[in-house]
Amino acid sequence: MPRAPKTKATPAGSPGAARPQAIKTDAPAGAEFEALRARLDPERMPRHLAIIMDGNGRWARRRHLPRVAGHRAGIAAVRSTVETCARLGLPVLTLYAFSAENWKRPRLEVGFLMRLLREYLRRELPLLRRHQIRLEAIGRLRELPPRVRDDLENTCRLTAGHAGMRLVLALNYGGRAELVDACAALLRRARPRARKDFELSEAAIQAHLYTAHLPDPDLILRTSGELRLSNFLLWQSAYAEFWVTPVLWPDFRPRDLFEALLEYQRRERRYGGVPPESDLE
């Protein structure tokens, strides 16, 4: 995966950064946003951008803060990224918010992440309404704590009629688990009458994925410099472009997003084929 140029770490924050505070946004306003958008080709924007938000723990450690301070700082990056993508008119944005493997983390950290998610769902509703963003979620959602599930279902219900960007939160999500669930659903469909016409195909599996109603991601972005998928959208990423930046998630800004989109537009997507003008002789 290509790496973005390295950037300098931001100055250390104070211990007070770990305390709850109002969510701020660094989304560019007015002339700055238009100047950045003017550099993009509106005809070559990704239909689906997926982001692996990584680096919260390292961000906190570099500042001698507890890990939870990094998670809270990452909320501002979520807000600015969501708002910028909505203003750009991206059809789908998926955020890898909590993996199926994250349950292995310390109990107090997991509890904090669940509370932070509930806080985000409540606080961001005005932003979702303002930009007509429709919230959805994928993963084994039934295994989330009941209060988290209730808040998630409520926000999804309140935004279901919105006609703008789809914001998809991957929660208790694992790519392997998704494939297991898809195959299990196919088997349940085939068993009742031992259907002789049952056929296992790529299309059949695709139709039973959590993301069956969404286009596959065109671009997968990962922060913190790590060069791996981490069990994220394994099936859907078959022909996705990858862009990796060393920037830690709490430091991720709209300019980093624009850099990723510009790089994406410079690439030639072939899907295993060759350009029409290629000389085959």
Per-residue pLDDT of the chain (281 residues; tens, 9 = 90+): 555 554 444 443 433 434 334 445 566 667 888 998 999 999 999 999 999 999 999 999 999 999 999 999 999 999 999 999 999 999 999 999 999 999 999 999 999 999 999 999 999 999 999 999 999 999 999 999 999 999 999 999 999 999 999 999 999 999 999 999 999 999 888 876 666 667 789 999 999 999 999 999 999 999 999 999 999 999 999 999 999 999 999 999 999 999 999 999 999 987 777 666 655 55
- Catalytically active residues, by annotation: 54, 102
Return the closest-CA partner of residue 1 out of 180, 236, 267, 272. 267
Does residue 179 belong to any structural domain of this protein?
no
The predicted pLDDT at position 189 comes to 81
Does residue 277 belong to any structural domain of this protein?
no
- 3-class SS at 44? helix
Query: How many beta carbons lie within 10 A of that of residue 130, not counting itself?
Result: 11
The predicted pLDDT at position 194 comes to 61
Give every CB contact of residue 36 below 8 A, 6+ residues apart in sequence. 28, 254, 255, 258
Return the closest-CA partner of residue 110 out of 157, 143, 152, 138. 143
Does residue 274 belong to any structural domain of this protein?
no
In whole angstroms, give the CA distance from residue 62 to residue 272.
42
Give 217-257 as a 3 state SS string.
Answer: CCEEEECCCCCCCCCCCCCCCCCCEEEECCCCHHHCCHHHH
The predicted pLDDT at position 188 comes to 86
Give every CB contact of residue 195 below 8 A, 6+ residues apart in sequence. 189
The predicted pLDDT at position 269 comes to 84
Does residue 276 belong to any structural domain of this protein?
no
In whole angstroms, give the CA distance from residue 145 to residue 156.
16
Domain containing residue 89: CATH number: 3.40.1180.10
pTM: 0.86
Indicate the number of domains in the chain: 1
Return the closest-CA partner of residue 4 out of 271, 239, 269, 266. 266
Range of the domain at 246: 44-174+216-265
Give CA torsion, residues 175, 177, 180, 185, to 10 deg.
-100
Give 47-96 as a 3 state SS string.
Answer: CEEEEECCCHHHHHHHCCCCHHHHHHHHHHHHHHHHHHHHHHCCCEEEEE
